[in-house]
């Protein structure tokens, strides 16, 4: 019974946080892109445009959902549902932190941990293409169809290097459970170099990490691999015929895929919630210092207001940051917050990389896309796998 209640609470909490985070991811992306392109970005709705996701949502909900007359209705409606369901389900197996004690009740952060967690995520990821492909086909529109076709070809091609890239670190960890994967990356070399997969001996998985990231860009249809929705060639690709909430479903699905890929990348390659340097060297104080540093900046701005209301708003934000930073010092909250901080920081860095790349690179041409997958990524992934396997086997024999 306890298990059931705990699971329900966790499921509700995770679903709420995930959906809110996805909405704000759109805001973060627009802001970061705007700053990369020397613009301001959304800044009208709320302070710094912080209420923009809410207003977008209201717009999308109340917009008339036009269903074109020439579509295949069943698949047209099924496609966005499939896309969003498959994009959000992976979060169920992603652990968010170690075992913690809340009010004397021991539980793991994260919904569940299955012993084939990483395979489950690959399986769900490989199913994600159906939403896009069906949407393209059911729309009964040439541009949509080409978008759907491109998407299926692209995802089949990039799934292979992605799976091969992820197998190499799994050889080091000797497990498929995501929680055990993180545990296998605990500890430090020479007392300060973390044993994350990208540093782990006998063969640091840095190449594998880069391959994984590139394949993740392709799997999530992001620039430079956004050929399924290349707007200057295909209008809007597979979602040309979708409007209102059906369009929002595809949008949510895309950001859901990005979040999942970044969480998995942080878990498998960046050591999950293992801190960057050991707690003996004071890594537990790092989140406190970061929060207090930004609190100090806010207080400093309050003394030199650029706008008349800065005198009131800046101290409020500063106090909030100060309290947040201070909560990392409370012994009761510490074991929960510090792993969460490191995990979110790593995943957030990867998400930032996604946006950064979008602001930097142009789109591939279609033949370049395929050549890159089969003639570069695939051989490199195989070579990386073979070298890792050889070194792991030699290490086993030396024992």
Partner 1 sequence: MSVILFGVFALIAVACAVNLVLQRHPVTSALSLIGVMGSLAVLYLLLGAEFIAAVQVIVYAGAIMVLFLFVIMLLNAGAEEKIPGKSLTAKLLGLPVFLIFLGVVAFLIQKYSSANAPVEFGAFTGGGPREVGRALFTTYLLPFEVTSVLILIAILGAVVLAKKEID
The residue among 85 and 302 lying less far from partner 1, judged by its C-beta, is: 85
Q: Minimum CB separation from partner 1 for residue 125, in Å?
A: 8
Judged by CB under 8 A, the residue of 27, 76, 120, 242 near partner 1 is 120
Q: Which of positions 71-110 make contact with partner 1 (CB under 8 A)? A: 75
Residue 153 found at the interface with partner 1 (CB under 8 A): yes
- First vs last Cα of the chain: how many Å apart? 46
The residue among 14 and 163 lying less far from partner 1, judged by its C-beta, is: 163
Judged by CB under 8 A, the residue of 23, 36, 119, 333 near partner 1 is 119
DSSP state of 59: H
Whole-number Cα distances in Å, 220 to 132, 295, 320: 11, 36, 35
Residue 131 found at the interface with partner 1 (CB under 8 A): no
* Both structure tokens of 32: 């970061």
Residue 136 found at the interface with partner 1 (CB under 8 A): yes
Query: Residues binding partner 1: what is the number (CB under 8 A)?
Result: 27
Q: Minimum CB separation from partner 1 for residue 347, in Å?
A: 23
Whole-number Cα distances in Å, 63 to 57, 79, 111: 10, 20, 35
Helices (H), 184-243: 206-219, 231-234
Judged by CB under 8 A, the residue of 40, 58, 66, 127 near partner 1 is 127
Residue 156 found at the interface with partner 1 (CB under 8 A): yes
* Both structure tokens of 237: 């690709």
Stretch binding partner 1 (CB under 8 A), from 41-49, 116-124, 251-259, 303-311? 116-124
The residue among 52 and 220 lying less far from partner 1, judged by its C-beta, is: 220
Residue 133 found at the interface with partner 1 (CB under 8 A): yes
Q: What are phi and psi of 139, to 5 degrees?
A: -70, -20
Q: Which residues contact 344 (CB under 8 A, 6 or more apart)?
A: none
Q: Minimum CB separation from partner 1 for residue 134, in Å?
A: 8
β-strand 99-102 against 193-194: which pairing, if any?
A: unpaired
Whole-number Cα distances in Å, 117 to 7, 42, 54: 18, 38, 33
Separation between Cα atoms, residue 87 and residue 256, nearest integer Å: 5
Judged by CB under 8 A, the residue of 22, 29, 110, 159 near partner 1 is 159
Binding site for partner 1 (CB under 8 A): 75, 114-116, 119-120, 122-123, 125-127, 129-130, 133-134, 136-137, 145, 148-149, 152-153, 155-156, 159, 163, 176
């Amino acid at each position: 019974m306890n298990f059931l209640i705990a699971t329900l609470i966790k499921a509700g909490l995770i679903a709420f946080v995930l959906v809110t985070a996805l909405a704000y991811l759109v805001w973060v992306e627009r802001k970061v892109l705007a700053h990369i392109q020397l613009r301001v970005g959304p800044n009208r709705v709320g302070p710094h445009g912080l209420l923009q996701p809410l207003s977008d949502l209201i717009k999308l909900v109340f917009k008339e959902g036009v269903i074109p007359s020439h579509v295949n209705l069943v698949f047209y409606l099924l496609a966005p549902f499939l896309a969003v369901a498959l994009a959000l389900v992976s979060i169920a197996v992603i652990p968010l932190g170690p075992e913690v004690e809340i009010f004397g009740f021991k539980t793991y952060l994260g919904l569940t941990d299955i012993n084939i967690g990483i395979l489950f995520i690959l399986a769900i990821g490989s199913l994600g293409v159906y939403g896009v492909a069906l949407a393209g086909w059911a729309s009964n529109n040439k541009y949509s169809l080409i978008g759907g076709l491109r998407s299926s070809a692209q995802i089949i091609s990039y799934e292979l290097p992605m799976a091969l890239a992820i197998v190499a670190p799994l050889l080091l960890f000797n497990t498929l459970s995501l929680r055990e994967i993180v545990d296998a990356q605990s500890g430090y070399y020479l007392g300060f170099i973390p044993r994350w997969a990208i540093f782990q001996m006998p063969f640091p998985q840095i190449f594998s990490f880069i391959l994984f990231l590139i394949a993740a860009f392709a799997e999530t249809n992001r620039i430079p691999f956004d050929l399924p929705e290349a707007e200057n060639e295909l209008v809007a690709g597979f979602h040309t015929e979708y409007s209102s909430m059906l369009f929002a479903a595809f949008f949510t699905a895309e950001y859901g895929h990005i979040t999942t890929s970044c969480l998995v990348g942080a878990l498998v390659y960046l050591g999950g919630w293992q801190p960057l340097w050991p707690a003996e060297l004071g890594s537990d104080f790092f989140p406190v210092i970061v929060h207090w540093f930004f609190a100090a900046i806010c207080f400093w701005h309050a003394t030199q207001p650029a706008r008349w209301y800065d005198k009131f708003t800046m101290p409020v934000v500063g106090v909030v940051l100060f309290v947040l930073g201070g909560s990392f010092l409370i012994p009761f909250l510490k074991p929960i917050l510090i792993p969460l901080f490191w995990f979110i920081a790593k995943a957030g860095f990867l998400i930032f990389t996604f946006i950064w790349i979008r602001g930097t690179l142009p789109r591939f041409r279609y033949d370049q896309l395929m050549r890159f997958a089969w003639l570069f990524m695939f051989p490199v992934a195989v070579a990386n796998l073979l070298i890792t396997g050889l070194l792991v086997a030699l290490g086993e024999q030396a024992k």
